Amino acid sequence: MKIKKSIMLLLSLVVPVLSFAACSKPAAKKVVPKPTQEQTEAVATTKTDTAKTDTTKKTTSATISTDLYKYEVLLNGIKYSLPSAFSNFEKNGWVGEDEFAKDTLAPNKYKIETLKNGEQTLMISIANFGMNVSPLSKCHVGEITVDTYGAKKGTTISIAKGITIGSTYDQVIAAYGKASTEYKGDTLLKLTYTSGTYSNYEISIDNKTKKVYSIKLENLAAPTKTETKSATTGLPSVVKSYKAPSSIGKDLLSFQVKYAGNYYKLPIPVTELVKNGWVLQSDNTAVIAAKSSAVGVELRKDNQVLRTQITNYSDTAQPLKYCFATYIEYYNNGAVVPIELPKGITEKSTLAQITAAYGKPTKVENSSSFKYYTYGEIFKQVVFMTKDGKIEKIEVNYAPKELN
């Protein structure tokens, strides 16, 4: 059965902003949450020549990276790196079913297909990262799924650190640590490890056997460009001038925080976050115009992803890596990253402790499920989102027009 999908354009760059995200200047767009399988979606576009960008090769003694987020996999002992040109699967015996050979795909779209290799079958998502309507055979495989049934038919799969069908729950946790999210159903426990939008692993564990039942890896991100150009060759003076604080201080609106164990003062240079162990998931060579902003930029630390907004405070265009993050969060349903604010307030604090520390909020708002306590004003505020009196989310947002 074929299922067509289209996903929102999220990952390719259009100077001066990332189209994956929205710019806070004119032509702003909202980031759209990932839809269900029945909904239509869009995938990232790029002008990259797909025939030249993929480096997946068949090897006689293949090994893959121990870094989970390289999205490398051994399928029947052959190495692939997602996204991978369909031609790499084809040369290793995989063919599409039904009208696959005649079917085409519009730019910025993907669809679910089934491949066969003798008695073996493989569920995939295939995407068109190009600018023109292309035959499926010229597109990229961005997602594969193998389960116990497929393994019985002879399909083998191995991901980073040797996790495969039949590995135990304890082995998965030992290999990758605590999952980004964990969901327990009646028969299966699903561990999801996420590095970005449309980039994740879903490892399902049989509740009875405690062993891996299925592995799905998805990386529907445009292939890396073969050539990139930076707007500058050196670190901008505004980034060089940043000095991290040695404490949190006492004033909430000083925007000094302790985040994931390190002290910062917002806005925070991306380079400072990277220095402290964060990985910039978005294209760090993406050029942002002078005094411009973009949202939806992703940074990852361990298995937690922060989707932030950035600003280029330089007088000249700069690559993303030389811009500043103006937003951080603790969120039970997002970046579960420990945060400490002035006067010892953390994600574990009570409402009584918050008001005792900071006084009456500037604004209090209600929704059907949550209550919001805001201190400060737009682009210069701290917001506590609560449910049943408990903190669900803390947002720290400071995006001044100019750096002090």
pLDDT tens, residue by residue, 341-400 = 999 999 999 999 999 999 999 999 999 999 999 999 999 999 999 999 999 999 999 999
Residue 49 in this model has a pLDDT that exceeds 80: no
Q: How confident is the model at residue 62 (pLDDT cuts 50, 70, 90)?
A: confident
Give the predicted TM-score (pTM) of the model: 0.68
Range with the poorest average pLDDT among 16-30, 43-57, 99-113, 322-336: 16-30
Residue 34 in this model has a pLDDT that exceeds 90: no
CA 373 – CA 364 distance, rounded (Å):
5
Question: Strand, helix or coil at 94?
Answer: coil
What's the whole-number mean pLDDT along residues 140-147? Answer: 97
Who contacts 296 (Cβ-Cβ below 8 Å, separation ≥6)? 10, 18, 20, 21, 22, 31, 282, 307, 309
Residue 14 in this model has a pLDDT that exceeds 80: no
- Cβ burial of 32 (10 Å; 0-12, 13-18, 19+) is middle
Torsion of CA 385, 35, 311, 303, to 10 degrees: 70
Mean pLDDT, rounded, of the chain = 85
User: What integer pLDDT is reported at residue 178 of this predicted model?
Assistant: 95
CA 263 – CA 366 distance, rounded (Å):
32
User: What integer pLDDT is reported at residue 290 of this predicted model?
Assistant: 84
E-strand ranges in 76-231 read 78-81, 84-85, 95-96, 104-105, 109-117, 120-127, 134-135, 140-147, 157-158, 181-184, 188-196, 199-206, 212-219
User: What integer pLDDT is reported at residue 36 of this predicted model?
Assistant: 39
Residue 5 in this model has a pLDDT that exceeds 90: no
CA 175 – CA 172 distance, rounded (Å):
5
User: What integer pLDDT is reported at residue 224 of this predicted model?
Assistant: 66
Q: How confident is the model at residue 226 (pLDDT cuts 50, 70, 90)?
A: very low
Residue 132 in this model has a pLDDT that exceeds 90: no
User: What integer pLDDT is reported at residue 93 of this predicted model?
Assistant: 96
Beta pairing, strands 339-341 & 256-259: antiparallel
Residue 274 in this model has a pLDDT that exceeds 70: yes
What's the whole-number mean pLDDT along residues 57-82? Answer: 85
- Residue 128 and residue 107 in contact, taking contact as beta carbons nearer than 8 Å: yes
What's the whole-number mean pLDDT along residues 324-350? Answer: 97
Residue 222 in this model has a pLDDT that exceeds 90: no
Per-position DSSP letters for 261-326, written without gaps between them? TEEEESSEEHHHHHHTT-EE-S-TT-EE-TT-EEEEEEEEETTEEEEEEEE--SSS-EEGGGSEE-
Query: CA angle, 370 as apex, 368 and 374 as ends, to 5°?
Result: 130
Q: From residue 322, how far is each of 104, 259, 361 by CA, in Å?
A: 40, 20, 34
Q: How confident is the model at residue 40 (pLDDT cuts 50, 70, 90)?
A: very low
Q: pLDDT digit string (tens) for 158-213?
A: 999 999 999 999 999 999 999 999 999 999 999 999 999 899 999 999 999 999 99
E-strand ranges in 12-53 read 13-14, 17-18
Percentage above 90 pLDDT, the chain: 72
User: What integer pLDDT is reported at residue 61 of this predicted model?
Assistant: 53
Q: Which of 38-42, 56-60, 195-199, 328-332 has the highest mean pLDDT?
A: 328-332
Other C-beta atoms lying within 10 Å of the C-beta of residue 189: 17
User: What integer pLDDT is reported at residue 361 of this predicted model?
Assistant: 98
Q: Which of 130-134, 293-297, 306-310 has the highest mean pLDDT?
A: 306-310
User: What integer pLDDT is reported at residue 385 of this predicted model?
Assistant: 98
CA 212 – CA 34 distance, rounded (Å):
25
CA 307 – CA 53 distance, rounded (Å):
27
Residue 13 in this model has a pLDDT that exceeds 80: no
Residue 291 in this model has a pLDDT that exceeds 80: yes
CA 24 – CA 310 distance, rounded (Å):
9
Residue 136 in this model has a pLDDT that exceeds 70: yes
CA 131 – CA 359 distance, rounded (Å):
55
- Residue 136 and residue 151 in contact, taking contact as beta carbons nearer than 8 Å: no
Who contacts 28 (Cβ-Cβ below 8 Å, separation ≥6)? 22
User: What integer pLDDT is reported at residue 232 of this predicted model?
Assistant: 54
Dihedral (CA of 102, 106, 112, 115) sign: positive
User: What integer pLDDT is reported at residue 286 of this predicted model?
Assistant: 86
Q: How confident is the model at residue 233 (pLDDT cuts 50, 70, 90)?
A: low
**Strand order, beta sheet including 268-269:** 268-269, 324-325, 304-311, 293-301, 279-280
- Residue 140 and residue 223 in contact, taking contact as beta carbons nearer than 8 Å: yes
What's the whole-number mean pLDDT along residues 22-39? Answer: 35
User: What integer pLDDT is reported at residue 289 of this predicted model?
Assistant: 85
Q: What is the CA radius of gyration of the chain?
A: 23
Which phi-psi region, left, alpha or beta, contains residue 291 (left: φ > 0; alpha: ψ -120 to 50)?
left
Query: Of 392, 356, 402, 349, which Cα lies nearest the Cα of 372?
Result: 392
- Residue 74 and residue 158 in contact, taking contact as beta carbons nearer than 8 Å: yes
Q: Tokens at residue 337, please? A: 């990253």
What's the whole-number mean pLDDT along residues 284-293? Answer: 86
